[in-house]
Amino acid sequence: MTATAEISARTPEDTARLAERLGRRLRPGDVLLLEGPIGAGKTHFARCLIQSLMDTPEDVPSPTFTLVQTYDTAAGEIWHADLYRLTSLDEIEELGLAEAFESAICLIEWPDRLGPLSPPGALTVRFESDPDDELARRIAFGWTDPRWKAVVEKL
Protein backbone atom coordinates (compact mmCIF):
# COMPACT_ATOMS: atom_id res chain seq x y z
CA MET A 1 0.00 0.00 0.00
CA THR A 2 1.26 3.45 -0.87
CA ALA A 3 1.04 6.19 1.74
CA THR A 4 0.97 9.85 0.72
CA ALA A 5 1.33 13.36 2.08
CA GLU A 6 1.26 16.78 0.43
CA ILE A 7 3.00 20.05 1.25
CA SER A 8 2.44 23.46 -0.33
CA ALA A 9 5.44 25.64 -1.10
CA ARG A 10 4.42 29.22 -1.85
CA THR A 11 7.83 30.38 -3.10
CA PRO A 12 11.08 28.90 -4.43
CA GLU A 13 12.56 29.71 -1.02
CA ASP A 14 9.91 27.52 0.65
CA THR A 15 10.87 24.71 -1.71
CA ALA A 16 14.56 25.24 -0.84
CA ARG A 17 13.82 25.04 2.90
CA LEU A 18 11.81 21.85 2.38
CA ALA A 19 14.70 20.32 0.41
CA GLU A 20 17.12 21.27 3.19
CA ARG A 21 14.91 19.70 5.89
CA LEU A 22 14.56 16.50 3.88
CA GLY A 23 18.28 16.42 3.10
CA ARG A 24 19.14 16.37 6.82
CA ARG A 25 17.15 13.14 7.17
CA LEU A 26 18.68 11.22 4.27
CA ARG A 27 21.26 8.46 4.50
CA PRO A 28 23.14 6.31 1.99
CA GLY A 29 20.76 3.93 0.24
CA ASP A 30 17.90 6.46 0.18
CA VAL A 31 16.41 7.14 -3.24
CA LEU A 32 14.17 10.09 -4.13
CA LEU A 33 12.19 9.79 -7.35
CA LEU A 34 11.52 13.37 -8.50
CA GLU A 35 8.45 13.56 -10.74
CA GLY A 36 6.68 16.41 -12.48
CA PRO A 37 6.52 18.26 -15.78
CA ILE A 38 9.35 20.36 -17.18
CA GLY A 39 9.72 23.52 -15.10
CA ALA A 40 7.89 22.16 -12.05
CA GLY A 41 10.90 22.51 -9.75
CA LYS A 42 12.60 19.10 -9.70
CA THR A 43 16.09 20.42 -10.43
CA HIS A 44 15.67 23.41 -8.08
CA PHE A 45 14.68 21.04 -5.26
CA ALA A 46 17.59 18.67 -5.99
CA ARG A 47 20.09 21.53 -6.22
CA CYS A 48 18.97 23.00 -2.89
CA LEU A 49 19.05 19.60 -1.17
CA ILE A 50 22.56 18.85 -2.45
CA GLN A 51 23.91 22.30 -1.55
CA SER A 52 22.47 22.01 1.96
CA LEU A 53 24.61 18.90 2.55
CA MET A 54 27.89 20.35 1.25
CA ASP A 55 30.58 21.52 3.65
CA THR A 56 31.68 24.13 1.12
CA PRO A 57 28.97 25.41 -1.22
CA GLU A 58 29.71 24.80 -4.88
CA ASP A 59 27.85 24.98 -8.15
CA VAL A 60 25.32 22.17 -8.64
CA PRO A 61 24.61 22.02 -12.37
CA SER A 62 21.64 20.21 -13.85
CA PRO A 63 22.60 16.73 -15.06
CA THR A 64 20.44 17.16 -18.17
CA PHE A 65 23.37 16.62 -20.55
CA THR A 66 25.85 14.76 -18.31
CA LEU A 67 23.04 12.41 -17.14
CA VAL A 68 24.61 11.99 -13.68
CA GLN A 69 26.45 14.33 -11.32
CA THR A 70 28.00 12.97 -8.11
CA TYR A 71 28.89 14.83 -4.93
CA ASP A 72 30.78 13.83 -1.80
CA THR A 73 29.12 15.16 1.34
CA ALA A 74 29.29 14.49 5.06
CA ALA A 75 25.98 12.60 4.68
CA GLY A 76 27.52 10.34 2.03
CA GLU A 77 27.88 10.29 -1.71
CA ILE A 78 24.98 11.86 -3.62
CA TRP A 79 24.03 10.89 -7.17
CA HIS A 80 21.81 13.33 -9.07
CA ALA A 81 20.53 11.82 -12.31
CA ASP A 82 18.34 13.22 -15.07
CA LEU A 83 16.97 10.37 -17.18
CA TYR A 84 14.87 12.52 -19.54
CA ARG A 85 16.97 11.81 -22.64
CA LEU A 86 17.36 8.06 -22.05
CA THR A 87 15.29 5.64 -24.07
CA SER A 88 16.32 2.15 -22.94
CA LEU A 89 17.01 0.18 -19.78
CA ASP A 90 20.46 -0.66 -21.16
CA GLU A 91 21.39 3.04 -21.10
CA ILE A 92 20.23 3.29 -17.49
CA GLU A 93 22.12 0.16 -16.45
CA GLU A 94 25.30 1.57 -18.00
CA LEU A 95 25.10 4.56 -15.65
CA GLY A 96 25.58 2.29 -12.61
CA LEU A 97 22.43 3.47 -10.86
CA ALA A 98 21.53 0.02 -9.50
CA GLU A 99 24.75 -0.01 -7.46
CA ALA A 100 24.29 3.62 -6.43
CA PHE A 101 20.79 2.86 -5.13
CA GLU A 102 22.41 0.62 -2.51
CA SER A 103 25.31 2.83 -1.43
CA ALA A 104 24.53 6.48 -2.18
CA ILE A 105 21.79 9.04 -1.69
CA CYS A 106 20.15 9.17 -5.13
CA LEU A 107 17.99 11.94 -6.59
CA ILE A 108 16.41 10.77 -9.84
CA GLU A 109 14.61 13.13 -12.23
CA TRP A 110 12.29 11.50 -14.78
CA PRO A 111 12.16 8.21 -12.83
CA ASP A 112 9.51 6.77 -15.16
CA ARG A 113 12.47 5.84 -17.39
CA LEU A 114 13.65 3.37 -14.72
CA GLY A 115 10.80 0.95 -15.37
CA PRO A 116 11.52 -2.30 -13.51
CA LEU A 117 14.81 -0.88 -12.19
CA SER A 118 12.93 1.51 -9.89
CA PRO A 119 13.87 0.70 -6.28
CA PRO A 120 10.82 -0.44 -4.30
CA GLY A 121 11.71 1.47 -1.12
CA ALA A 122 12.14 4.86 -2.80
CA LEU A 123 10.35 8.05 -1.79
CA THR A 124 8.42 9.59 -4.67
CA VAL A 125 8.34 13.40 -4.68
CA ARG A 126 5.89 14.85 -7.22
CA PHE A 127 5.99 18.56 -8.14
CA GLU A 128 2.96 20.35 -9.56
CA SER A 129 2.64 24.03 -10.41
CA ASP A 130 -0.20 25.92 -8.80
CA PRO A 131 -2.44 27.26 -11.61
CA ASP A 132 -3.31 30.29 -9.46
CA ASP A 133 0.27 31.23 -8.49
CA GLU A 134 3.24 30.69 -10.83
CA LEU A 135 5.74 30.61 -7.93
CA ALA A 136 3.82 28.14 -5.77
CA ARG A 137 4.20 24.36 -5.93
CA ARG A 138 2.24 21.45 -4.58
CA ILE A 139 4.72 18.80 -3.51
CA ALA A 140 3.27 15.33 -2.98
CA PHE A 141 5.18 12.51 -1.31
CA GLY A 142 4.43 8.83 -1.84
CA TRP A 143 6.03 5.77 -0.26
CA THR A 144 5.60 2.11 0.58
CA ASP A 145 8.57 1.78 2.97
CA PRO A 146 7.31 2.67 6.48
CA ARG A 147 10.58 4.52 7.26
CA TRP A 148 9.45 7.42 5.05
CA LYS A 149 6.36 8.14 7.17
CA ALA A 150 8.45 9.45 10.07
CA VAL A 151 10.73 11.37 7.69
CA VAL A 152 7.87 13.10 5.86
CA GLU A 153 5.99 13.89 9.09
CA LYS A 154 9.01 15.91 10.30
CA LEU A 155 9.10 18.11 7.20
3-state secondary structure of 12: helix
Domain with 69, as residue range(s), is 3-153
Q: Do 16 and 50 form a contact (C-beta atoms < 8 A)?
A: no
* pLDDT per residue as tens digits for the range 37-88: 999 999 999 999 999 999 887 889 889 889 999 999 999 999 999 999 999 9
The pTM of this model reads 0.95
Neighbours of 132 (CB within 10 A): 6
- In this predicted model, what pLDDT tens digit does every residue of 74-131 receive, in sequence order? 999 999 999 999 999 999 999 999 999 999 999 999 999 999 999 999 999 999 998 9
Domain count along the chain: 1
Where residue 10 sits, what CATH number does that domain have? 3.40.50.300
